[in-house]
Amino acid sequence: MTVFEGYRVQHNLSSGPSKGGIRFHQHVTLGEVAALAMWMSWKCSLVGLPYGGAKGGVIVNPNDLSLNELEHLSRRYMQEMVNFLGPHIDVAAPGVGTNERIMGWMMDTYSNHIGHVSPAIVTGKPIALGGSQGRRGATGAGVAYLVKKYLDDLKIPINATTVAIQGFGNVGSETALSLGDYGAKIIAISDYTGAYYNPKGIDVRQALNYVQFQKTLRDFDGGEAITNEQLLELTCTVLVPAALERVITDQNAAKLKCRVLAEAANGPTTNAADKIIEARGDIEIIPDVLCNSGGVIVSYFEWLQNLSNFYWGREEVITKLFGILDQAKAAVDAQQAKFQFSRRLAALTLGIQRVADAKAARGLFP
Ligand code: NAD
């Protein structure tokens, strides 16, 4: 028998239930989970969702487990969390290393425990269990939509745009598909096994088929093999880190050759790197709390549909998603123009201010 250590951190409970994904990864730490929970608070607040932030994690490499073991681990995690989670307390979702199927097992475990079906306990579920249309691709669709909007602001035509993407999981692959559909050329993709570069453009659907059967991009022949470090330093219009935190550091920030850095991952840029990029002044950052917010926005839609038992079509989901992203982008741009500071600071100050306002308005119960 093996015992795995896992966590759940609820960061802010003032504005509604807390909300956040569950990560299965061998490098999970309590500090990392807490940081991700805090980011969720600012993100939900920035885009106007009635949620606080939360995050969960288990120290495990899911690739080392059989399907049966993965199911046991997922169910046991939810079993341990039954007293702390709830549709009006704390709502879970997929994250790195977890997926729709795992959310289905967790929803089933919670529902069995309380004695009735409770789809609103997790989002990112299979459609058959009350998942939302458009949820699987929501984060990537949102990243691509915002990239296109910022390219429009910079007057760079999308069909003259080259894109390098680190990470080819849910977010990376869906961003690649959506940006490809807009007309951008995806020149590099990667996963933890390596990176692939093709200046003529990677066939993203071919890469997805490859991963479906081979599990990873290892030995993918749709491009020249390079390293993940080389990918980050490629000449491209848009660089999309869509894997893990702290990949843009003070070691490589000065070497980036992109015009737009779209932070699809949470926390891909260290503070030191952020300062270097700001001093350079030639790279537009779309900060993580704005850039990848499409996922939690459609998770919110899923939760609403579960609570009302009334389900929406894909078009409705996507139209409402883009509407919220437009509002959030406009608010961030206005904040940046007003205070003349970075876009990251604009996004964070807006998110933090709204949480502070909610806390102040509630006051302290004596
Ligand atoms: P995922 O597990 O589906 O995919 C992660 C990808 O990153 C995989 O392709 C993996 O091989 C790759 N990877 C891992 N380590 C790597 C490394 N060292 N170098 C290169 N590639 C590496 O996870 P995901 O859901 O796509 O999440 C990716 C990022 O997006 C995370 O930072 C996550 O917190 C963030 N995010 C996800 C969502 C969502 O809806 N899934 C929403 C918001 C933010």
Mutate which of 191, 211, 234, 289 for ligand 1? The one with the most ligand atoms within 8 Å of its CB, which is 191
The token duo for 69 is: 């073991």
* Ligand 1: residue whose CA is nearest its atom 17: 192
Asked if 317 contacts 294 with a C-beta cutoff of 8 angstroms, the reply is no
Whole-number mean pLDDT of the chain? 97
pLDDT tens for 177-189 read: 999 999 999 999 9
pLDDT score at 179:
98
The residue-averaged pLDDT of 239-256 equals 97
Q: How far, in Å, are 265, 288, 346 from residue 42 at the CA level?
A: 15, 10, 11
pLDDT score at 343:
97
In the set 19, 43, 55, 329, the catalytic residue is 55
Number of helices and strands in the chain (H, E)? 12, 11
Look at the block and give the residue holding tokens 């949102």.
142
The token duo for 308 is: 């009302």
pLDDT at 235 over 80: yes
How confident is residue 76, by pLDDT bands cut at 50, 70 and 90?
very high
| Tally of residues, the chain | 366
pLDDT at 366 over 80: no
The residue-averaged pLDDT of 78-104 equals 97
> Does the beta carbon of 130 sit less than 6 angstroms from any atom of ligand 1?
no
pTM for this prediction? 0.96
Asked if 265 contacts 245 with a C-beta cutoff of 8 angstroms, the reply is yes
Give percent of the chain above pLDDT 90: 97
pLDDT at 262 over 80: yes
pLDDT tens for 305-325 read: 999 999 999 999 999 999 999
List, in order, residues 6 or more apart from 306 with CB less than 8 Å away. Answer: 87, 119, 120, 130
Residue 234 is given by DSSP the state S
* Ligand 1: residue whose CA is nearest its atom 28: 243
Closest CA to 344 of 49, 51, 39: 39
For the chain, which domains are there? 6-42+52-129 (3.40.50.10860), 132-366 (3.40.50.720)
CA of 106 to the centre of ligand 1 (A): 20
**CA angle 171–173–250, rounded 5-degree value:** 65
Q: How many CB atoms lie within 10 A of CB 25?
A: 18
The token duo for 351 is: 């998110």
pLDDT tens for 23-51 read: 999 999 999 999 999 999 999 999 999 99
pLDDT score at 246:
95
pLDDT tens for 190-206 read: 999 999 999 999 999 99
pLDDT tens for 203-225 read: 999 999 999 999 999 999 999 99
At residue 19, φ and ψ (nearest 5 deg) are -145, 135
pLDDT tens for 327-347 read: 999 999 999 999 999 999 999
d(CA 282, CA 257): 9
Dihedral, CA of residue 74, residue 75, residue 77 and residue 78, to nearest 10: 120
Give percent of the chain above pLDDT 70: 100
pLDDT tens for 142-174 read: 999 999 999 999 999 999 999 999 999 999 999
Mutate which of 28, 123, 171 for ligand 1? The one with the most ligand atoms within 8 Å of its CB, which is 171
Helix (H) or strand (E) holding 91: strand 90-94
pLDDT score at 119:
98
CA of 357 to the centre of ligand 1 (A): 32
pLDDT at 1 over 90: no
Asked if 84 contacts 106 with a C-beta cutoff of 8 angstroms, the reply is no
- Helix 138-153 crosses helix 314-339 at what angle (to 10 degrees)? 40
pLDDT at 364 over 90: no
d(CA 4, CA 80): 12
359 is an active site residue: no
> Does the beta carbon of 95 sit less than 6 angstroms from any atom of ligand 1?
yes
